[in-house]
Structure 1
Amino acid sequence: MFTACLDAGVPLPWLRAVAAKAPPEHGLWLGVHRDARAVPRVKALVAFLVDALAPLRRALRPPPVR
C-alpha cells in the first residue's frame, strides 16, 4: 500500500499551486481497493476528504454534458 502525505511544515520546492483557468471538466473521484476499505486509516482519510471537500462540491461538479 502506498500513502502520500504532505506535511505543511516541510518546504516542497517542486510543488506549486496553479490557478484554474476554467471550471473542471470532470468530476473528482477517489478509488479505494476493496481490501483497503476496512483499514481504519483509509476509512479515516476517506471521511476526512469527504468532509473537507463538501464545501467545494458545487465548484467541483462538472457542467452537464449536452
Structure 2
Amino acid sequence: MSFILIAQQMGLRLEEIAAELVRLPAGRTPNGADWTRISTALRRSAPKPLRQRFALPPPHGGATGGI
C-alpha cells in the first residue's frame, strides 16, 4: 500500500502503477529483484521534471558523471 501512495505522490497514475504491480509473482513474496524491476519501469515512465524534483536516478541506471 505504501508503494502505491508514494508512487501517486510522485505523480504517477494508478493505471501506470497497476500495470507494474500485476507483474509481481503470484504464490510467493516479491523479492528485491522484483521490486527493482518494478521501480525501474516506473522510473522510466516518470517524466524528466518529476525525476529531477524527486532526485530520481536516470531511468537507464547509469551514472551521469561526477564521482
TM-score w.r.t. the length of structure 1 is 0.30
Asked which structure has the greater CA Rg, the reply is 1
TM-score w.r.t. the length of structure 2 is 0.30
Larger relative CO (CA 8 A, sep 6+): 1 or 2?
A: 1
Higher-helix-fraction structure: 2
